[in-house]
Amino acid sequence: MTVEQKILDFFNEINELTVKELVEKTGASKQMVHLVLNRLLQADIVQKMGRTPKTIYRIKTGKTSNVSETESLYLSDPENEFLEKNFVLVTDTGDLLKGSVAFEHWCTQRKLPVQKTVHEFVSTKKKYSGYYDKHGVVNGTDKLKSTKGYDQIHLDELFYLDFYAIERFGKTPLGTLLHYAKQGQNKFLMRIMMDEIKNRIHDFIKTHKADAIGFVPPTIKREVQIMKFIQNSLQVGLPVVDIKKISGLIPVPQKSLSKLEERINNAENTFAVSGNHQYKHVVLIDDAVGSGSTLNQIAGKMKSKKLAKKITGLAIVGSFKGFDVITDV
């Protein structure tokens, strides 16, 4: 009996096994077990769960996709390239998928035909292309100024690198990375996200001729804070405005508040800024724009202390339908 057949027999008996367990059960070398597992992975017979050193392998009881494997072959090169750039998915078991593989998985979950849905996805994305300026960012200034409920708009401008989500197809690639990186305190995803946005933020700061930056501090205590990770990864080389988060006994995150006036009041009373240097233009960075109240109220505090003449808000992602929809980041 071959090592491969032994491994398959053990999988059929136990279902989930580690490399160590397979080595012990088959008596084969670790290298041989890895070789067989790689072959079985490529043949879509087993699936790999987790990351080293906590990795297990599981036999597939059936195809993860009901879509014909040949269907993806009918996707044109431009379509495959488009999906590679514009579609990212985290599965319910924690796998990060990208491009056509991610899109097929998404379609399978919803029992949608891949070919037809790709065309619809491309069409939908094109509808959004007009919202990006020549530098590839979304200008949300007018949207903020037209939002009812603000006594005063303190931000001079507001931008975000991408929408958090789009109609029907859900989270954008940046929205997906940010959501799971933040909620899971996942440095692996944070690094992938920073690879996507670091140069874009640097270019934004340079284009807008900022002479200082600020980072919105987190509300909830986490072992890994995504805003601190962003700040450390950027290494902009500009002065950083001191912004502190203050709160009562129970920290209340903005996403838990459904009304704009509550978010404005929360931001107004739980953030503090300090310093005595006046800057010409500060870029204030946050991970996501929900209501816009956090960035706007911090900007108001900075201007009241004459810390900046101009303040531009920049978020990684922002909402499409006004400033009231992001509640899970």
Q: How many CB atoms lie within 10 A of CB 212?
A: 23
Check residue 84 and give its pLDDT: 93
* Same domain for 266 and 125: no
Check residue 329 and give its pLDDT: 56
* Same domain for 196 and 97: no
Mean pLDDT of 247-276: 77
pLDDT-derived band at 150, boundaries 50, 70, 90 = confident
pTM: 0.77
Mean pLDDT of 50-76: 62
**pLDDT at residue 55 tops 70:** yes
Which runs of E-coded beta strand occur in 94-143? Answer: 96-98, 138-139
Is residue 92 assigned to a domain?
Answer: yes
Q: How many CB atoms lie within 10 A of CB 110?
A: 7
* Same domain for 211 and 167: yes
Judged by DSSP in three states, 78 sits in helix
Choose one of 100, 129, 158: the last residue of a domain: 129
**pLDDT at residue 200 tops 90:** yes
Closest C-alpha to 207, from 154, 137, 292: 137
* Same domain for 275 and 217: yes
Closest C-alpha to 112, from 158, 67, 71: 67
Mean pLDDT of 189-211: 96
* Same domain for 105 and 49: no
Which CATH number characterizes residue 268's domain?
3.40.50
Its domain, for residue 45, covers 3-59
Lowest mean pLDDT among 32-41, 83-92, 274-283: 32-41
Mean pLDDT of 83-101: 89
* Same domain for 115 and 229: no
**pLDDT at residue 328 tops 70:** no
Is residue 242 assigned to a domain?
Answer: yes
Check residue 95 and give its pLDDT: 81
Choose one of 81, 108, 129: the last residue of a domain: 129
* Same domain for 290 and 218: yes
pLDDT-derived band at 249, boundaries 50, 70, 90 = low
Is residue 202 assigned to a domain?
Answer: yes
Lowest mean pLDDT among 59-63, 82-86, 270-274: 59-63
Total domains in the chain come to 3
Is residue 80 assigned to a domain?
Answer: yes
Mean pLDDT of 193-197: 96
Is residue 323 assigned to a domain?
Answer: no
